[in-house]
Chains A and B, each alone.
Chain A
Amino acid sequence: MSEEFGNAKDASDGARLWARARPGWRALASPGEAPGVSGEAPDPLILAAYLDGTLDLAERERVEAWMAAFPEALELMTAARETLGEGSREPSPESLILRAQGLVRAPLREPAGLRAWLRGLAGLEIQAWRPLAWAGVTAVLLVVSAGGFELGRLGTERLVSVQSATLGDDLALGLDDPADDFL
């Protein structure tokens, strides 16, 4: 590694110095210890933005602090970067595509002509008909209730008149019963 740095002292000292400083850095970066660093992974969109180089400095430092503090984070970002570098050369299995496409079903077909007619009828969306529908249902219920009440009232009146008439006849018959003459 020393050749890469162009400074042998840097390379040899680097490992020793970082081994000495690393526990302190990790303690600083422990959840709750340092602002902006937590064990929870940042949102995937933030990580993707980091990989695409669109984060501002503060956001970028937060992601890099997370990567430096958590080996799994560095592993995730390294692997993602490598995958993006290589691209997806191979096609995915056809069975995966079919299974994944099957996750979303096509909506049930409704008669397109009817829907268009309803929309055109009043220039309203179907949703707009909802209050009118409720009003119609309420009106029908009121009419049925009122009609039922009226029919019931008429029926009762008729029954009472019939019963009165029968009683009247009975009384009349009793009064006019010839047997009474024997009393």
Chain B
Amino acid sequence: MSEQFDGLDRLIAGEKAAWDRFVTRFAPVIFAAVRRKLGPAGRGEDAEDVAQDVFIRLCARDFRLIRNYDADRAKLSTWLTVIAHSAAIDHLRRQKARAQPLESVPERYLAVDPPKDPVKVVIPPGLLSPRQALVLEMLYQREMEVAEAAQVLGVNPQTVRSTHHKALVKLRAHFREPED
């Protein structure tokens, strides 16, 4: 990985100056990730506290999380972005759970309907590759544009179109529908 932080070993060894440099270097990365997640949910004011929680996780148990980082596998900024997003999602989930105590939910919403017989659609394992399923999920369930789906997959839009087409061919064949 090209982008690195010089001094991770010294940080893990407990060198205060290395930790300070690490914080200065990556606080903007972590803060941006957290705020991006919390802002649209109306919890932007929590961003600093959640970012602080990320730093607490990083140095907890003698920097256990940082010890698990492998520079050969991913960039440090990418790894920290994933951790920061994950922390922000956890925070939103906790806030949501706290915001609505069970007692405040009207009883009619808690009533459990008798289970209906589900319509079973059997898909043989391997009919769709994970990527094909993911492309269909992004385009139809999430209603993402091809370019957005391509960005998530890290491929060009033509690859998404091709994957989408192959997936539909397989599904048509499975459900015995005529091709084009």
Contacts and interface: CB of A to CB of B under 8 A. Distances in A.
A binds B: yes
Nearest to A17: B171
A131 interface: no
Nearest to B40: A79
Interface stretch (B73-81, B100-108, B109-117): B73-81
B49 to A, nearest CB: 9
B16 to A, nearest CB: 4
Interface in A49-103: 49-54, 61-62, 64-65, 67-68, 71-72, 74-93, 95-97, 99-101, 103
A1 interface: yes
Nearest to B35: A90
Contacts of A84: 77-78, 81
Interface residues of B, number: 76
Interface in A145-178: none
Given A17-B168, A17-B172, A24-B121, A52 B28 contact: no
Interface of B: 1, 14, 16, 19-20, 23-24, 27-33, 36-37, 48, 51-52, 55-56, 59, 68-70, 73-75, 77-79, 81-83, 85-86, 89, 118-123, 125, 127-131, 133-134, 136-142, 145-146, 148, 151-154, 157, 161, 164-165, 168, 171-172, 174-175, 177, 180
Interface of A: 1, 4-7, 9-10, 13-15, 17-25, 27-29, 34, 41, 43-54, 61-62, 64-65, 67-68, 71-72, 74-93, 95-97, 99-101, 103-107
